[in-house]
């Protein structure tokens, strides 16, 4: 029976010989006319990818943990590493080769494929200014660290500080706004991948979410390709005129596996033994996100939220500073804040958003400035109070308001607070209408429940439809009794 290897060998008429193996890197002699990122087939049936051609020696990366033997023949497939793209991927969890991971879910393989490397990113002439707000449904982020559609915002912090929880809540909120969500799980535990899948199913949003995942037992080659495969799928939906949100969880793990591949290939190590082109690898990936011109719908965006895990809060580590230099800001998750019980555990003074504020309306920009300056004053007074200073009534009032704002920011996992509700409640707090946490909790819960009722939603939208903070505050006060009746 003729094997696939023999058929390809007859078709191409060329082969090479494995002369050295440093698993998963294979060094091959011969194989003329091979090109980088071409898929090659070994005599044993295993597949690999050409990633370097150096003085007649081809370096290839294997897609599996199974080894190849020295002296084994290998031939070309004349296919560039690609992934299937299409709407049938919704609700699926696939690996970077486009193969389904969960065999219990029916999988219809899309007919169209795209090369994973994606070619050259779209230049500045094909991009638009970021002007649309991307709402996460998380009050602290939407009010103080706003994001824009097309922004690249780094999510950074120690492990187990709630980064993934915030990202999943953001996906949940964006899917409601008809955004395509792509979650790339890079070398995660199988149990963690399963939990994310269950979240999407339980929240009934899996029909708008695609997962590209590799677990920690997969080949380093597959793990390395995970974020590129996710971005390739995102580009397909962008070209259909849709807005896309891509979560890359996480790039620090991705960098470690790329370092492993580079060291095995005997590349010269740089700082912390990472390869010299690690910055290029991540920058060329993240440059594929942005807000782009589209011939039919005007513009379509790819918003990218890469994650980097720090050790003991070290923001000056190599990969952290690299990705900070590529992105449009970062949200820092602080272990100390997490252990204090605040959720999300975001360190506001250290976090930055560079293009998000330009997407705000005049009203939300004024509220952003007002709340930010107030919290700076609150933190200063909080530090003074620790020294046992006697507090004046004015200081006590400021402290009480600051406490209520942080209680508002303390948001349970999976809870989404619509933007109009965020604005109304922060206005009530700053004007002294809400003066204790019980009223705050009751009002927030009631407003979230009735938000889906069309007349209530329109009423809230009408209150916040002005550009003047004074008019907005007056609108809120004039509806104070109606609002408090909900408590």
Q: Active-site residue numbers? A: 354
Q: How far apart are CA 364 and CA 72, in angstroms?
A: 65
d(CA 418, CA 138): 8
Cα dihedral across residues 477, 478, 480, 481: positive or negative:
positive
SS (H, E, C) 153-194: CEEEEECCCCHHHHHHHHHHHHHHCCCEEEEEEEEECHHHHH
Q: Is-contact 243 93, C-beta < 8 A? A: no
Q: Can you name the residues that pair with 38 across neighbouring β-strands?
A: 80
Q: In this structure, are residues 211 and 92 in contact, taking their beta carbons and an 8 Å threshold?
A: yes
Q: Which helix (H) or strand (E) holds 100?
A: none
b/e 63-92 (16+ beta carbons within 10 angstroms → b): beeeebeeebbbbbeeebbbbbbbeebebb
Distance CA 103, CA 94 (A): 10
Q: What is the DSSP letter of 152?
A: B
The DSSP-derived string for 384-451 is: HHTTTPPPPHHHHHHHHHHHHHHHHH---TT----HHHHHHHHHHHHTTS--SHHHHHHHHHHHHHHT
Strand, coil or helix: 32 = coil
Query: The tokens of 350 are what?
Result: 């250290």
């Amino acid at each position: 029976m003729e094997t696939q290897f023999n058929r390809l060998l007859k078709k191409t008429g060329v082969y090479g010989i494995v002369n050295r193996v440093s698993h998963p890197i294979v060094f091959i002699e011969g194989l003329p006319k091979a090109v980088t990122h071409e898929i090659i087939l070994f005599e044993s049936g295993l597949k690999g990818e050409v990633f370097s051609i150096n003085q007649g020696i081809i370096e290839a990366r294997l897609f599996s943990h199974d080894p190849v033997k020295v002296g084994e023949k290998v031939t070309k497939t004349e296919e560039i590493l690609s992934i299937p793209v299409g709407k049938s991927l919704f609700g699926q969890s696939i690996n970077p080769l486009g193969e389904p991971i969960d065999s219990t879910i029916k999988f219809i393989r899309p007919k169209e494929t795209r090369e994973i490397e994606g070619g050259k990113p779209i230049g500045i002439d094909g991009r638009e200014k970021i002007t649309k707000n991307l709402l996460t449904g998380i009050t602290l982020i939407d009010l103080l660290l706003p994001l824009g559609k097309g922004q690249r915002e780094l999510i950074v912090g120690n492990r187990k500080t709630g980064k993934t929880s915030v990202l999943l809540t953001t996906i949940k909120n964006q899917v409601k706004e008809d955004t395509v969500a792509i979650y790339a799980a890079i070398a995660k535990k199988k149990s963690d991948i399963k939990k994310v899948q269950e979240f999407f199913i339980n929240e009934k949003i899996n029909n708008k979410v695609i997962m590209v995942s590799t677990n920690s037992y997969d080949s380093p080659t597959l793990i390395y390709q995970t974020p590129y495969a996710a971005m390739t799928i995102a580009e397909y939906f962008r070209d259909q005129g849709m807005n896309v949100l891509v979560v890359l969880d996480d790039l620090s793990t991705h960098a470690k596996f790329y370092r492993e591949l580079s060291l095995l290939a005997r590349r010269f190590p740089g700082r912390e033994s990472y390869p010299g082109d690690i910055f290029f690898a991540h920058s060329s990936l993240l440059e594929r996100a942005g807000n782009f011109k589209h011939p039919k719908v005007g513009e379509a965006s790819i918003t990218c939220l890469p994650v980097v895990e720090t050790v003991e809060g070290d923001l000056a580590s190599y990969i952290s500073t690299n990705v900070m230099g590529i992105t449009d800001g970062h949200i820092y998750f602080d272990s100390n804040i997490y252990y204090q019980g605040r959720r999300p555990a975001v360190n506001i003074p250290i976090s930055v958003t560079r293009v998000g504020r330009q997407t705000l309306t005049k009203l939300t920009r004024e509220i952003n400035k007002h709340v930010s300056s107030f919290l700076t004053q609150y933190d200063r007074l909080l530090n003074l109070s620790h020294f046992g200073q006697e507090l004046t009534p004015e200081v006590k009032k400021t402290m009480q308001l600051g406490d209520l704002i942080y209680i508002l920011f303390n948001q349970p996992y999976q809870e989404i607070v619509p933007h109009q509700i965020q604005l109304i409640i922060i206005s009530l707090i700053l004007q002294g209408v809400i003066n204790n946490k019980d009223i705050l909790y009751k009002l927030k819960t009631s407003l979230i429940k009735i938000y889906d009722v069309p007349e209530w939603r329109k009423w809230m939208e009408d209150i916040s439809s002005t550009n003047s903070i004074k008019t907005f505050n007056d609108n809120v006060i004039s509806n104070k009794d109606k609002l408090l009746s909900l408590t």
